[in-house]
Structure 1
Amino acid sequence: MKKTTGQLNVLSIDVGGSHVKATVLNKQGDLTMEYEKIETPMPSTPENMLKAIKRLVKNFPAYDKISVGFPGYIKNGVVVTAPNLGNKAWSGFDLQTELQTQLGKPARVVNDADMAGLGVVDGKGFEMVITLGTGFGTAFFLDGILLPHLEISHHPVAKGKDYDVYIGDIALDDLGVKKWNKRMKKVFKILKTVFNYDYLYIGGGNARKLDMKLDKNMKLVTNEQGIKGGARLWQEKELKGTAVAAKK
């Protein structure tokens, strides 16, 4: 592994249903290298995923900490659900500890939308982040502080279909872009009514296929912007502590 000099560096990994992407960030969240990606292994078992990650980052510059955005519900670094990778294989798997063991650096694992949100939010008011890809990801922030994760993707939205089924990759392929956009208009109306956010950020690989005019408080963001959240993830405890102190 090549050595780098200077400040703290964070290996930031984004695990997706189709690709695993990674780069090394400095403390400010700036990329120290272009991010690289490989196809998500099939079957996407923990063993295969760990092998893929190790292969991807083998020749990366040196890093001090690891941040991972994972497509599922994560509790204290342990996978609870992984609907787009296979719940049975992943349920109860301590990905955070296993990464620390295999890569030899402190690791933090959170939901992928949560980590992406850390890279794009402005830190003012109630902000919501959604990701449009294999499934539907969400994250919520209040004055820049990450709020507890909610699996909105599995909430019914129409005729017994949850958001993953209603607007995920399979729906896009089956419906085509035009009909999928009609569904997205309905989803945006629901999100605006239910959450009353100050700002909505829209990311994920399918965000570029939106063809409608967005409200002034809605913004498209890229995967490259989102992966920068890996650096800010290590500042979360510090940020929360500051927020609590300010309220006293």
Structure 2
Amino acid sequence: MDDKKQAGKNNILSIDIGGSSIKAVLLSEAGEMLSDYIKSKTPSEAKPDEVLEIIFDLIEPIEKTYNRVSIGFPGYVKNGVVKTAPNLAKEKWTDVPFGQMVANKLKKSVRLVNDADQQGLGVIAGKGFEIVFTVGTGFGTALLFDGELLPHLELAHFPRNKRKDYDDYIGDVAFNKKGKERWNRRLQKIIKIYKTVFNYDALYIGGGNSKEITFKLEDNIKLVSNRDGIKGGAKLWQQSDKFQIKTLDPEH
């Protein structure tokens, strides 16, 4: 283990920013965990500078044997720039160059993508058309084909009715308000819609509320953990940049 840590130059710091917690782990280039999986609470209505400081404090115990950083972010990201953050401070994240901010703060190269995209890379089989759901504070989705990320679509924000979208329909607020039984029925409806519309080969469901699923899953649907998902930070550096997966280097 120590030899792998000291090999360092190919190690990757993987960070997952969620609506309820921020998590980090040191990975080898192959995705093996080289440090403890650590996390810290995400503040309510978290602003960019607050999240940046939490990351900086959180990773302090992790050995500085990495030169690349992968970040999964709960919103729409394009070329390392955050466009939306519906479960953080909603009015403070429009066109925020957060990837560059992290690169400058840590003095490392950074790739920043949607959190469901990063988790997807960590859990998929890499064969055929695969979809990832994250059910936690909100509802996240990722689309992948033969192990490659497809362009990110904020499918959670399709309207469910005149007042609510799918994020409202299946997110944590709905779980707490409607209860476990009704939430499960809602998730079953969403799975049925996705099966009809996308005809996926496999569906993976992760996020904090995935443990609350009570109905029987079809054979091509699998529950996955956040610990597995954060390993996608290694595979993120194996992806091409054709779909706005841009590498941000520190500014000097």
The number of aligned residues is 239
Alignment-derived partner of residue 49 in structure 1: 51
Equivalent residue for 2:239, pick from 212, 236, 239: 236
Which deviates more from structure 2 when the two are superposed, residues 216-225 or residues 150-159? 150-159
Change (3 A) 1:58 1:208: same
CA distance in 2, matches of 1:202, 1:168: 14
Give how far 1:65 is off.
0.5
- Structure with larger RCO (C-alpha < 8 A, sep 6+): 2
2:221 matched to 1:218? yes
Distance 2:242 2:228 in 1: 20
| Residue aligning to 1:60 | 62
User: Alpha-carbon deviation of 1:6?
Assistant: 1.6
**CA deviation after TM superposition for structure 1 residue 160, in Å:** 3.7
TM-score normalised per structure 1 = 0.93
**Could you report, residue by residue, the CA deviation over 1:104-133 in whole angstroms, capped at 9, with x for unpaired residues?**
100010000000000011111100011000
Q: Percent identity?
A: 51
Q: Which moves more between the two structures, 127-136 or 85-94? A: 85-94
| Number of the residue aligned with 2:189 | 186
Map Cα deviations across residues 50-72 of structure 1 (whole Å, 9 max, x no partner).
11000001121121100000000
Q: Shift in Å at residue 158 of structure 1? A: 4.1
Give the letter aligned to residue 49 of structure 1. Answer: V
Q: Report the equivalent of 2:170.
A: 167
Q: Does 1:130 align with 2:133?
A: yes
Contact 1:13–1:69, Cα closer than 8 Å, also in 2: yes
Q: Is the 8 A contact 2:13 2:233 kept in 1?
A: yes
**Corresponding residue SS for 1:156:** coil
1:243 alignment partner in structure 2: none
Equivalent residues in 2 for 1:45-194 (5 A)?
A: 45-62=47-64, 63-158=66-161, 160-194=163-197
What is the identity, as a one-letter code, of the residue corresponding to 1:161? K
Runs of at least 5 residues in structure 2 that lack an aligned partner in the other structure = 244-252
User: Is 1:227 matched up with 2:222?
Assistant: no
Structure 1 residues 168 and 27: CA distance shift in structure 2, 3 A: same
Alignment counterpart, residue 23 of structure 1, candidates 18, 22, 25: 25
Residue aligning to 1:5:
6
TM-score (norm 2): 0.91
Distance 2:163 2:127 in 1: 35
User: In 2 relative to 1, CA 159–182 (structure 1 residues): closer, same or farther, beyond 3 Å?
Assistant: farther
Q: Kindly provide the CA deviation profile for residues 197-225 of structure 1, in whole angstroms up to 9, marking residues without a partner as x.
A: 01000010100100000011100000000
User: What amino acid is the match of 2:104?
Assistant: T
